[in-house]
Amino acid sequence: MTDGKHSGSLSAAYAAKRPDEVAAIYDRWSETYDADMSAAGYRHPTICLALLARHLPRGAEPLLDAGAGTGLIGEWLAITGYPRVEALDISQGMLDKAGAKGVYTALHRLAMGDTLPFADGAYAGIISAGVFTSGHVGVEGLDELIRIWGEGDAGARHPRRLGAGLRA
């Protein structure tokens, strides 16, 4: 973070060992997350959106924003022509912020890495930014996303590790 004030939240999230720890950190951080990440120059959601839009026709539906956080990607998906997007996040505080933006058709408080309650191939596309990284979700979260992702459809994800380079 640029001001150091909220770098503790990001560091704590990276260091978390259990999903309930991650959820609690993001619940507390939800009030200032958008401003903090903007100040830090966080652009990964934009990169993921550009990649998804390049490979998935406008209007494709439904989409899943996996690790939706406060809904930054959901806002941009709505603006760029994806009318039906659902949000999935482990943090109720983040989902509350995402829901307030009025762009999601459903909000799901779930942990990636667990079995997800969606049908095989349920989503035309899945987008995920800043989720597959230290203290968040590891490769164990991919199996379920692949299962619920429609065959031949598009998805985009981006690892997040501010200040430490990109990691897949």
- Tell me the pLDDT tens digit for each residue of 97-130: 999 999 999 999 999 888 999 999 999 999 998 7
Q: Is the pLDDT of residue 135 over 80?
A: no
- Quote the percentage of the chain above a pLDDT of 70: 80
Range of the domain at 29: 7-158
Q: Is the pLDDT of residue 24 over 60?
A: yes
Ranges of beta strands (E only) in the chain are 63-66, 85-89, 106-109, 123-129, 149-158
Domain count, the chain: 1
Q: Which positions ≥6 away from 129 have C-beta within 8 Å?
A: 44, 45, 47, 48, 67, 73, 157, 158, 160
pLDDT of residue 15: 74
Mean pLDDT, all residues of the chain = 82
pLDDT of residue 82: 97
Instruction: Please indicate, yes or no, if residue 65 is contained in any of the structural domains.
Output: yes
| Higher pLDDT, residue 12 or 84 | 84
Instruction: Please indicate, yes or no, if residue 148 is contained in any of the structural domains.
Output: yes
pTM given for the model: 0.81
Q: What is the mean pLDDT of residues 126-151?
A: 79
Instruction: Please indicate, yes or no, if residue 166 is contained in any of the structural domains.
Output: no
| Higher pLDDT, residue 55 or 86 | 86
Instruction: Please indicate, yes or no, if residue 164 is contained in any of the structural domains.
Output: no
pLDDT of residue 152: 56
- The side-by-side arrangement of strands in the sheet containing 149-158 is 106-109, 85-89, 63-66, 123-129, 149-158
Backbone CA torsion sign across 105, 48, 158, 63: positive
Instruction: Please indicate, yes or no, if residue 163 is contained in any of the structural domains.
Output: no
Instruction: Please indicate, yes or no, if residue 167 is contained in any of the structural domains.
Output: no
Instruction: Please indicate, yes or no, if residue 42 is contained in any of the structural domains.
Output: yes
Give kind and range of the element (H or E) at residue 53: helix 44-55
- Quote the percentage of the chain above a pLDDT of 90: 48
Q: Is the pLDDT of residue 158 over 80?
A: no
Q: What is the mean pLDDT of residues 32-52?
A: 84
Instruction: Please indicate, yes or no, if residue 168 is contained in any of the structural domains.
Output: no
For position 91, which CATH number holds? 3.40.50.150
